[in-house]
Structure 1
Amino acid sequence: MITILQWTTLAICAMIAIARIPSALRGRNRSLFYIFALMTLAILLSIEAPYVAIDQALGGINLTNLLLRFVIFGAIYFVGVRITKGFGATNAYRLITGRTGMLALAVLSALVVVVFLLMDTAGSSAGLVTVSGKDHRNGVLVEYYGAAGRAYPAFVSLVLFPAMVRAARSRLPLLVRVAAGLLAVGGLSIALTLFFPVVPPELGSLRFIVNYTAVLCFVIGLALIWAARIRQDKRAGIGTSFTEK
């Protein structure tokens, strides 16, 4: 089930990213293309087979996991900027792009790198399972590393959540309200990842479900906003194709 969920999510993200290429080449809404492209890469790097293959090419010391963390940071930053601008959430935009948001990004990025360097990362292992099992010290460091990696996406998601709830309950077009609701669920799912350390090992599959629920909600939510924009333009008589928006 988890494998099907991973590859299905990857396929959806990849198809939407490809559909956005013509618009990106024309300079239209490039941020959407960046979001879908980064999400596609993040999902690819989180699947065991491609993860191991890429990491072996990088030296087999789990640099792929570190790359994955920063790809996620980039994706969530662009999501935050795009959504706050689209919904006119000025305060949320300032929190993400202003001094507070940049400080959070810098501190947590540095923390991720420092903890990574403290671990014995030899041996490619998706999710750092092998690294965690080496000894108690590495096990603890992997938990700290994961917590630091989840903190920034959770910060952005919690900043976005109130604006998304307001939009979902507003009188905006139905597609936009549904999109806002999905984005709110996605943000809440990411916030829930902060509680992963207390999830019992026998319920480890819940981590995958929460993670991919968040990704799918964000991807589908953003795609619906795109679709709503296309519908609005068509009603206004603007003759643009699906991929030009």
Structure 2
Amino acid sequence: MIDILQWSTLAICALTAAARVPSAIRGENRSLFYIFALMTAAILLSIEAPYVAIDQALGGINLANLLLRFIIFAAIYFVGIRVTRGFGADSAHRLITGKAGMVVLLIISLVLVALFFMMDTVGSSAGLAAVSAKNERNFVLVEYYGAAGRAYPAYVSLVLLPAMVRAVRSRLPVLVRVAAALLAVGGVAIALTLLFPVVPPEWGAAEFVINYTAVLCYVLGLALIWAARVQNRKTSPAKRTYTEK
């Protein structure tokens, strides 16, 4: 089941990114293409076979996992910019791109890198499962490292959540409200990842479901915003709206 979820999510992300290529070449909403491409790369690095192959090429010390974390940071950052601009959430935009957001990103990034290099990371292992199993010290460090990796996406998601809730309750077009609802669900799913350290080991599959639910909701939500923009252009070609920001 997990394999099906991983590969199907990868396929959806890759197809959505590919569909955005013509528009990106024309210079239209390139941020959406960047988001879908980054999400595709993140999902690829989350699957064991490609992860191991890529990490072996990088030296076999799980640098691919650190790369994965920063790809996720970049993707969620671009999501934050795209969504706050699209929905006119100025305060949320400042919390992500302003001084506060940059300080949060810098601190979390420094902690993440420091924790990574404090571990014995030799031996490619998707999800750092083998690294965690080496000894008690590694186990604790992997837990802290994972928490740091989830912190920034959770921060951005929680910043976006109030704007998404307002959009769902508004009188915006149905497609946009559905998109906002999906983005809100994705944000809640990402926020729930902060609870992973207290999740019982036997519930491990739930972590995969929550992670991939977040990705799918964000991808589908952004795709619906794109669809709403296309629809708006067809019905009101001279009118510029939130979908074009």
Aligned to 2:6: 6
The 5 Å alignment of 1:53-202 reads 53-202=53-202
Cα shift at 1:25:
1.1
> Normalising to structure 1: TM-score of the pair?
0.96
Distance in structure 1 (CA, Å) of the matches to 2:228 and 2:86: 12
Distance in structure 2 (CA, Å) of the matches to 1:91 and 1:66: 30
Alignment-mate amino acid for residue 190 of structure 2: I
Structure 1 vs Structure 2 CA RMSD: 0.7
Cα shift at 1:58:
0.8
Aligned to 1:45: 45
Distance in structure 2 (CA, Å) of the matches to 1:112 and 1:146: 8
Alignment-mate amino acid for residue 6 of structure 1: Q
Distance in structure 1 (CA, Å) of the matches to 2:11 and 2:18: 10
2:205 equivalent to 1:205? yes
Among all aligned residue pairs of Structure 1 and Structure 2, give the percentage whose two residues are the same amino acid.
74
Distance in structure 2 (CA, Å) of the matches to 1:34 and 1:57: 24
Alignment-mate amino acid for residue 91 of structure 2: N
> Normalising to structure 2: TM-score of the pair?
0.96
Distance in structure 2 (CA, Å) of the matches to 1:206 and 1:61: 27
Aligned to 2:242: none
Alignment-mate amino acid for residue 162 of structure 1: P
SS of equivalent residue, structure 2 residue 171: coil
Describe the shift of the 1:103–1:237 C-alpha distance in structure 2 as closer, same or farther (beyond 3 A): closer
Cα shift at 1:237:
4.5
Cα shift at 1:232:
0.8
Alignment-mate amino acid for residue 191 of structure 2: A
Distance in structure 1 (CA, Å) of the matches to 2:28 and 2:85: 15
* Structure 2 unmatched runs, 5+: 239-245
Q: Deviations over 1:74-119 (max 9, x none)?
A: 0000000000000000000000000100000011001100000000
Alignment-mate amino acid for residue 82 of structure 2: R
Cα shift at 1:221:
0.2
* Structure 1 unmatched runs, 5+: 239-245
Distance in structure 2 (CA, Å) of the matches to 1:133 and 1:201: 13
Report the number of matched residues: 238
Distance in structure 2 (CA, Å) of the matches to 1:97 and 1:153: 14
Cα shift at 1:22:
1.0
